[in-house]
Structure 1
Amino acid sequence: MQNLHRVRITRRAVVAASTTFATGLHAQSSRTIRLIVSFAAGSGNDQTARDLARYLSGFLKQPVSVENKPGGGGSIGTDAVVRSAPDGLTLGLGTSSQLVMNVGLFKSLPFDVDKDLRTIGLVSRANMVLVGRSTGPRTLKALIAEAKARPNQLSYGSGGIGSTSHIVGEAFAKAADIKINHVPYKGNGPALSDLAGEHVDLVFDGLATSLPMSLLGQVNLLAVSGTQRNQAAPGLATFAEQGLRGYEAYTWNCLIAPAQTPPEVMARINRALSESLAIPEMHARLVEKSGSEILAPSTPQEAEAFARRERERWVPFIRSLKLETA
């Protein structure tokens, strides 16, 4: 009888422990995940994050909300991810600006992207377009010829010092062996507006925003980056087709988490990310409308390696420019 009593107590303890564990899991899964975007609401990255949040929520069976933390070229939002608890409840939409450009631009950051962050998986890559004013040169060859004939007379707007649109502009000038003046703005939107108003001559931007403006006759698309033409604008020739081989201009994004996030949590979110990006509606928005390339599926290890290669390629070039930051 005494042994039977002990067995009953043990069984009750096991049931109680199992119930407590299940309750803990349920409490965790019912909590909202924050997806931090390091740029303002309404931007291309913000829209991507909001689309992802909707689908991630369904696959994870857990609410996902987008939180915008703009500033510092993306470093403020990145730092918010770094300082969060590594429990899978705070994620970030990482971009090439945050994870590559800022590393080369700033002498010091409040975090180390290699040590303090982990990449859950890649999302997409968008080849950029060289956009000219509507009354400017109609071809890339004509633009380069004019820039060589009038050094430092043509200008290009960007989203700010050290932004992707700034760095790829400097790389273009070097590749084409021309001298053009940089005009920084607080975002690519204002730069495009001034391009339409013919206050600057060029802007590097994405097809999602520049293509509609070109269809309205407000700007002229001169060339697109990539090894082949973009299906969103099949009539637009690449830089390579027009004689500027080896030049690339693109942005990319991914999901990031604090460095100590458990591998099983990373794997769970990675699966949900791959499933979200496989949804036809997501494919249509990123590929057909925005001209992007979906980079999923990718493992966390593959995503980490991709980001490291990007830093190895771009950071030395950015530092060679010796840009002054505020």
Structure 2
Amino acid sequence: MLPSLQQLRFLVALADELHFGHAADRCHVTQSTLSNGIKELEAILGVSLAERSKRSVLLTPVGIEIAARARQLLADATDLVDSAKRHAGPFRGDLRLGAIPTVGPFLMPKVMPRLRETYPDLRFYFREELTESLDAGLKAGRLDAILIALPFPVEGLETVDLFDDNYQLATPLGHRLADRKSVAGRDLAGEKLLLLEKGHCLQRHALSAFPDSHATQDDTFAATSLVTLVSMVAEGLGITLLPQLAIDAGVTHGNRLALAPLVGACPRSIVLAWRKTSARAEEFSELAKIFRQAREDLRA
């Protein structure tokens, strides 16, 4: 007997979540269904894939190896189906798109109506996740394309540049930097920045925007969204760096704070990425044009 794709999907989900309940939720099945699927896979392979206890799940060394190979098999299966569908015509069927939380909420409301109007035979499914989760989902075939910010390792992926996203400094009214027409890295010396919690790529990118500024993160607070950061700054609790995309989309509207462009900051680069083995590169290149136009519309 050979493992089924469903069983391999269960194993990959368990490897990512290390929790039967969470893995079952991700696969849209009950926990008992997923658990039984893992046991059946172990029986077929003749090895133990996971160590179970009441509080935790750990993959065995062979389980880690099999999960890595399962990711590739699932991705290849997805690309096989996509390749067959292309013979029925492009821009048909399902397209599962993922985006990071500092891009999705600001760009996708502009993009989705245009995508549905331009490609009525294409069904879009959208997920918002952190970069590492999007990368894993893409490589496992759970997602077809992802919107992420560079720098980030993209080995094994094709990417197309969409736009660069600069930053502005957001400060409370009355802050020493609030009346500046622009801010340079040296102006941030000794400042502590309110940033997103670790795991968000913007947290890393913001800290590296001015490599020689010596600004650090305020470790007493970490936000889960840009909206929270904006509110904290408006209440006078600190300063932060905000991406221009979010500002143009209105994230600061209704909040009393000051904004100043950053001079010489390294922007993050927003790209659309997909698997090199995907048969949908032509479609993704066309989608990229719509993303770029949506960004221009926000600037207007």
TM-score scaled to structure 2, two decimals? 0.57
Instruction: Determine which of 269, 281, 287 is the counterpart of 2:299.
Output: 287
Corresponding residue for residue 198 of structure 1:
236
Distance in 2, matches of 1:128 and 1:84, equals 33
Corresponding residue for residue 157 of structure 1:
194
Q: CA deviation at 1:47?
A: 3.9
Distance in 2, matches of 1:267 and 1:141, equals 41
Letter in 2 for 1:55: R
Q: CA deviation at 1:199?
A: 1.4
- Alignment CA distance shift 1:27-1:144 (3 Å): closer
1:129–1:207 CA contact under 8 A, matched in 2: yes
Q: CA deviation at 1:269?
A: 3.0
Cα distance per residue 1:122-151 (max 9 Å; x no partner): 222221111111120132679966x66xx4
Distance in 2, matches of 1:141 and 1:122, equals 27
Letter in 2 for 1:136: H
- Which 4+ stretches in 1 moved above 6 angstroms? none
Q: CA deviation at 1:50?
A: 4.6
Written as runs of structure 1 = structure 2, the 5 A alignment for 1:111-122 is 113-115=154-156, 117-119=157-159, 121-122=160-161
Paired residue secondary structure (1:26): coil
Q: Is 1:270 the equivalent of 2:272? A: no
Paired residue secondary structure (2:93): coil
2:195–2:223 CA contact under 8 A, matched in 1: yes
Q: Is 1:185 the equivalent of 2:223? A: yes
1:165–1:203 CA contact under 8 A, matched in 2: no
Structure 2 stretches lacking a partner, 5+ long: 1-83
- Alignment CA distance shift 1:272-1:61 (3 Å): farther
CA-based RMSD of the aligned residues comes to 3.7
Paired residue secondary structure (1:51): helix
Distance in 2, matches of 1:278 and 1:143, equals 29
Structure 1 stretches lacking a partner, 5+ long: 1-21, 104-112, 225-238, 240-246, 289-326
Distance in 1, matches of 2:275 and 2:134, equals 12
- Alignment CA distance shift 1:178-1:191 (3 Å): closer
**Greater relative CO (CA pairs within 8 A, separation 6+):** 1
Distance in 2, matches of 1:256 and 1:82, equals 11
Paired residue secondary structure (1:199): coil
Question: Identity, % of aligned pairs?
Answer: 8
Distance in 2, matches of 1:95 and 1:49, equals 13
Distance in 1, matches of 2:212 and 2:172, equals 21
Corresponding residue for residue 13 of structure 1:
none
